[in-house]
Homo-oligomer: A and B are copies of this chain.
């Protein structure tokens, strides 16, 4: 049992944390001003390019990838604290080319893409020249249950034809978004884990249409955004099917496991920053003749937030370690636990920090309001908390079925 990070992990944490705290956080306000001040909100403020270049120069690039060719050779448990510090700012993940859903899409292409797909789409993605989206969730059905999926990816000779409507396709509004990965039903008669396919769809393919951009609690999250997208008779060569027909479910499982743990790692960092802001407010703001820290239950709330964050971090690290040592199946229970618990923890900690800030916490004068929307959304984004709780319960009860 050893709770110390590897020297390599510690080194990357230090460098990324330094970059976030000295290069990114001080420019958050400028970023927001640039974004809000333009005629076109769906453009990327130039400072992002600057920061990306600098991060890349320093080798802080694609750190989510465990191989040493593209990334830094960090295992999941080593990447966890690095991702955590990226979570301190909503802008940071992009700067290090580590933002969702591009990371998940990159992993899919790396592991399951054809050479051509890797060359044409993966390389520019890892270069940070293009962005991507993932089209799985559908508006008309409860997408927490994948068997509900109604969109189709039907084989027709050498081609695959896509039809259906997706939403919450995050990143699709980005000016550099060039492709999406689409998931659809290919063979309704196959085993339930072999029915779906994942298809790489260039965004400019005829029949693909962004119907509208969806707000999250008032935020459109420009310049990324969350789109509702229709696919109408979209035709692609069948080579666009990633890994071949019927492998969508299998690929998705692999994609979502680490995917949401990345979210959880970043949520820890977000909660840390919220607590930090809360503490600064608590010691610097005065009411009724006392610093807020000494009013009512504020100290206990701060203590409970510290406890909640620290234990969530330990859980995420444990799940990450299981991913490294036992694989996604061996980590299933702990992964479901963090998916079920960490977004709710972050929502609670951020909500507490908002409350300590009064009105300022609701506006965009601090990052807290944006954090609150983000944490709230992540209680749904990779399946609702309740679905993950269901998995945890199922595993737990299965250990007791046979006993009298």
Contacts and interface: CB of A to CB of B under 8 A. Distances in A.
Interface of A: 1-6, 9, 77-78, 137, 139, 142-145, 148, 167-168, 214-220, 275-276, 279-280, 282-288, 292-293, 295-304, 306-307, 310-312, 314-315, 317-318, 321-322, 325, 333-334, 337, 340-341, 351, 354-355, 358-364, 369-370, 372-373, 376-377, 379-380, 384-386, 389-390, 392-394, 396-397, 399-401, 403-404
A389 B299 contact: yes
A321 B404 contact: no
Contacts of A317: 1, 3
B369 A215 contact: yes
Most buried by B among A219, A275, A334: A219
A218 B1 contact: no
12 contacts: A1-B9, A139-B359, A214-B359, A216-B369, A217-B218, A218-B219, A283-B401, A293-B397, A300-B389, A302-B393, A303-B392, A362-B377
A163 to B, nearest CB: 21
B288 A217 contact: no
A161 to B, nearest CB: 26
Nearest to A383: B358
Contacts of A310: 315, 318, 334, 337
B296 A390 contact: yes
A404 to B, nearest CB: 7
B215 A364 contact: yes
Contacts of A148: 286-287
B279 A397 contact: yes
Most buried by B among A284, A298, A341, A392: A392
A31 to B, nearest CB: 16
A152 B4 CA distance: 45
Given A137-B359, A148-B287, A299-B389, A3 B318 contact: yes
A299 B2 contact: no
Contact of A145 (B288, B293, B315, B385): B288
A392 B292 CA distance: 17
B311 A315 contact: yes
A307 B168 contact: no
A384 B355 contact: yes
B397 A297 contact: no
A359 B217 CA distance: 10
A148 B288 CA distance: 8
Given A3-B1, A393-B300, A397-B283, A341 B144 contact: no
A49 B57 CA distance: 59
Contact of A1 (B6, B292, B299, B373): B6
Nearest to A285: B142
A299 B397 CA distance: 9
Given A167-B359, A216-B369, A299-B389, 6 more contacts: A1-B3, A1-B6, A218-B220, A279-B397, A296-B389, A311-B337
B302 A360 contact: no
Most buried by B among A310, A364, A394: A310
Contact of A386 (B296, B334, B370, B373): B296
Most buried by B among A280, A364, A377, A389: A389
Nearest to A301: B297
